[in-house]
Amino acid sequence: MQALRTAATGMSAQQLNVEVISNNIANMNTVGFKRQRAEFQDLLYQTVELAGAQSSDQGTVVPTGVQIGGGVKAGSTYRITTQGIVTPTDNRYDLAIEGRGFFQVLTPSGETAYTRAGNLSVNDQGQLVTDDGYQIQPAITIPQDAVDVSISKAGQVQVVKADAAAPEVAGTIELATFVNEAGLEAVGDNLFMESGASGPATTGTPGSVGFGQILQGYVEASNVDAVSEITALIVAQRAYEMNSKVISTADEMLQAANQVKA
């Protein structure tokens, strides 16, 4: 019976769905995390009888030939890039982006990665780095004798030195935007890489047209909404159950056929 195999594809699709949802829930408190969604596609159809000359109404319900579908497959997992809630931390190197854009990070392999996780710090040479010690691009060095650092909404890093009255500009943080943010390739550690689907990065100063603003002393929380994830989990679980119900029904029907006494 085709129904058995069809329902099995449904169960494995829902299993993937649960895996994606559990990753979202696991990253509920990950700074700058963007939640994902599993997307599905129907499988090939077996045409038993071609669509023939059948009368049809002009409504939305139409008769066609007999086509038996083979179930479902996972199409893609999809990133939803809405803004996460900006939460205050009072840490001077915690930066949140409000609006579009990514920080540019120089990875050890020399490539540029992109991140929304702005929980930065300063390394032993005074450079602004991410949690993993990767340098922010363009590189910004905070002088050793700086007593205070303020970062404006436009990304300008100003330092106040003990012996100077006026603040000094140490550099400007630039943001990168993409035409299709959902197409970025996630490589873990809150980092994304440019891909064919995302298009090349466009860099610019924060606050200019098309770029978000930088907020000092805040981080962007993950955009995972616990309630909607739990709801999605319940839906996935019930859908899984329904598919297993189809299997047991198909089994019952086969059993009924087997029990017929000749």
Q: How far is the CB of 113 from another protein (least distance, A)?
A: 18
Query: Closest Cα partner for 32 from 208, 153, 191?
Result: 191
Q: How far is the CB of 16 from another protein (least distance, A)?
A: 10
Beta-carbon contacts of 53 under 8 Å, excluding residues fewer than 6 positions away, are none
Q: How far is the CB of 85 from another protein (least distance, A)?
A: 15
- List the structure tokens of 134: 């990767």
Q: Quote the CA–CA distance of 116 and 104 in Å, as a whole number.
A: 9
Q: Quote the CA–CA distance of 202 and 217 in Å, as a whole number.
A: 26
Q: How far is the CB of 54 from another protein (least distance, A)?
A: 6
Residues 10-29 contacting another protein, CB under 8 A: 10-11, 13-14, 17
* 153 binds another protein, rule: CB under 8 A: no
Name the one range near another protein by CB under 8 A: 66-74, 140-148, 163-171, 214-222: 66-74
Nearer to another protein, 166 or 262 (CB): 262
Q: Quote the CA–CA distance of 20 and 13 in Å, as a whole number.
A: 11
Name the one range near another protein by CB under 8 A: 56-64, 105-113, 121-129, 151-159: 56-64
Nearer to another protein, 125 or 202 (CB): 202
Residues 75-114 contacting another protein, CB under 8 A: 75-76, 78, 80-82, 100
Query: Closest Cα partner for 150 from 89, 219, 95?
Result: 95
Q: How far is the CB of 24 from another protein (least distance, A)?
A: 14
* 178 binds another protein, rule: CB under 8 A: yes
Q: How far is CA 128 from CA 94, 162, 192, 244, in A?
A: 11, 20, 19, 53
With the CA atoms of 28, 133, 106 and 88 taken in that order, what torsion angle do they form, in degrees rounded to the nearest 10? 40
Name the one range near another protein by CB under 8 A: 19-27, 48-56, 114-122, 124-132: 48-56
Q: Is the peptide bond before 167 cis (omega within 30 degrees of 0)?
A: no
- List the structure tokens of 2: 């085709």
Q: How far is the CB of 127 from another protein (least distance, A)?
A: 29
